[in-house]
Structure 1
Amino acid sequence: MTPPAFSAVSKESLSDSVYRQLADKILRGELIAGAALPAERELSEALGVNRGAVREAIKRLQQARLVAVRQGGNSVVLDYLAEGGLELLPGLLVNAQGQLNTAVVRSIMAMRSALAPDIAAAAAQKGGAALADELDALLARMRADAGSLKALQAHALAFWRKLVERCGNIAFRLAFNSMTRTYSQAQDAMAAVLQAEFRDLENLGAIAAAVRRGDAETARSHGRLHVEIGRGALEHALDAVDAGGSIQ
């Protein structure tokens, strides 16, 4: 196997730059599971940074479960599919050719479709009138900003953020945070594709009303209907990408 080539990194945020480059090579399979990382000295020379930056980057790789440090200080690449968590999703969104990884996007949308109804239901059980008032205020802003897709996108994200913050489930919140960070990398490209979902005030309004009544099952039902609008549109767009086109 040909050793992966490394590029000199920016002198700003050295450990961050080293971490990103090493993590990228692991996630894209240039450094395979079971392989040993080059020694700190070798990495320092190849990347053009000091050994302290390399050492700090390797600590972060350990925390992300991308490498394990064995006895003697040698670092071995781990199988991120077996060891990693949702925080790795942003690094998987774009493939080695700089293209959107459609399989990862589909996986994220499937997870979102699975979680969103339960988030809406849990928020309806716990949120009450105070949350409903906040959701109604957001819906009013969405109506006022109907001509701005960017504003609708931001308001829709805020709507779901309020639901997840008040649903009382920390696992939902952390999963939402990971999905949001991943989505932020492609949000400009996704805006037009998902606009029908952003304009779906009917289901969002029904969720808000269900939250006010404490009606979990109605919130769940309308949450499912709402996110499936976006999922269907995105699946159509991803089919075009897989056929050699681009997201329109």
Structure 2
Amino acid sequence: MKHAPIRREAVSDQLYALLRDRILDGSLPAGTALTAERDLAAEFGVNRHAVREAVKRLQQARLVEVSHGGRTLVLDWRRTAGLDLAVGIAEAGTGPALPDLARDALEMRACIGADAARLCAARCSRRTAADVVEAAGRYALAGPDLTELGAADVAWWRLIVEGSGNLAYLLAFNTLVGGTLAVADVPIDLRTAELLDVEAHVRLAAHIAAREPEAAERLARELLSRSVPATRRTAGR
């Protein structure tokens, strides 16, 4: 089927998004060959350089690979793609968004936060533990405005994640709070139960300062998981 030519600005980016969406929605199934470069250029009314750039991005995202025979084959993205794929979908705001991406990101946040709290209690320096306790005290004074509490919550959790000594967790945290995943778009009022539980924040800080990793992990998971059911209910409306 012939398509209308796509807009001329950022042509390779647009073509990448279109092909990515076809792979994600199954229009281009795993194991099939990607349409030939010249045919893609003709279909979308673009030059072959734009096609090559788009295919290069698909390769970088591990959505396709070039076989030994020279064909570009579609990969099973659920087995090959990384977190950057979810980030790209969230940033684009178009195409077949992954089901319940905000919920999935919040679930990941709860898992990472719980283990980061455990590691922080086991590993962090006395100075960091004192900073976590002090930040919890500031958090207690930040409410009841949810936006103000949200900013204080991010600053407090950053101390905990940094104190965990796990670089992968820190980079994931930056992605989750930096506006590049759907979790950043969750309305702040859906996190009310989590943010208004000041007492839990203070207790978690105390567990970290007392070097109680198991207790810190349990409480962190309980606290962070409170936002997930609210997001699930919203997604199901």
Same fold at TM > 0.5: yes
Which of 195, 198, 213 aligns to 2:195? It is 198
Could you tell me how far 1:193 is from its partner in structure 2?
0.8
How has the CA–CA distance of structure 1 residues 134 and 45 changed in structure 2, closer, same or farther, with 3 Å as cutoff? farther
- Match status 1:152 vs 2:163: no
Quick one: which amino acid aligns to residue 160 of structure 2?
A: L
Which residue of structure 2 lines up, in the alignment, with residue 101 of structure 1?
A: 99
1:140-219 superposed matches below 5 A: 140-180=137-177, 184-185=181-182, 187-219=184-216
SS at match of 1:37: coil
Q: Residue by residue, what CA displacement relative to the aligned partner does 1:147-179 show, whole Å, maximum 9, x if unpaired?
A: 432232233233323322331223433444554
SS in 1 for 2:41: helix
* 3-state SS, counterpart of residue 15 of structure 2: helix
Greater RCO (Cα-Cα under 8 Å, separation 6 or more): 2
Distance 1:30 1:6 in 2: 18
Q: Distance in 2 between matches of 1:10 and 1:48?
A: 10
SS at match of 1:158: helix
Give the CA deviation at 1:120.
0.5
Contact 2:63 2:75 in 1 (8 A): yes
Which of 81, 85, 97 is residue 84 of structure 1 equivalent to?
81
Distance in 2 of aligned mates of 1:156 and 1:55: 44
**Consecutive unaligned residues in structure 1, runs of 5 or more:** none
CA shift, 1:122, in A, is: 0.3
Q: 2:30 aligned with 1:21, yes or no?
A: no
Cα distance, 1:217 vs structure 2 = 1.9
SS at match of 1:151: helix
State the one-letter code of the partner of 1:56: E
Report the alpha carbon displacement of residue 80 of structure 1 after superposing the two structures with TM.
0.7
Gaps of 5+ in 2: none
Matched residue type, 1:150: T
Contact 1:117–1:220 under 8 Å retained in 2: yes
Which amino acid in 2 is paired with 1:101? P
Structure 2 CA distance, aligned partners of 1:7 and 1:147? 52
Question: Aligned partners of 2:220, 2:4: CA distance in 1, in Å?
Answer: 45
Distance 2:71 2:210 in 1: 58
SS at match of 1:30: coil
Whichever residue aligns with residue 43 of structure 1, its letter is L
Where 1:194 maps in the other structure, the secondary structure is: helix
Q: Is 2:136 the partner of 1:139?
A: yes
Contact map agreement 1:128 1:214 (CA 8 A) in 2: no
Alignment of 1:11 onto 2:9: yes
Structure 1 residues 76, 191: closer, same or farther in 2, change over 3 A?
A: same
Q: CA deviation at 1:227?
A: 1.2
Aligned residue-pair number: 235
**Once the 2 structures are TM-superposed, how far is the Cα of residue 67 of structure 1 from its aligned partner?**
0.5
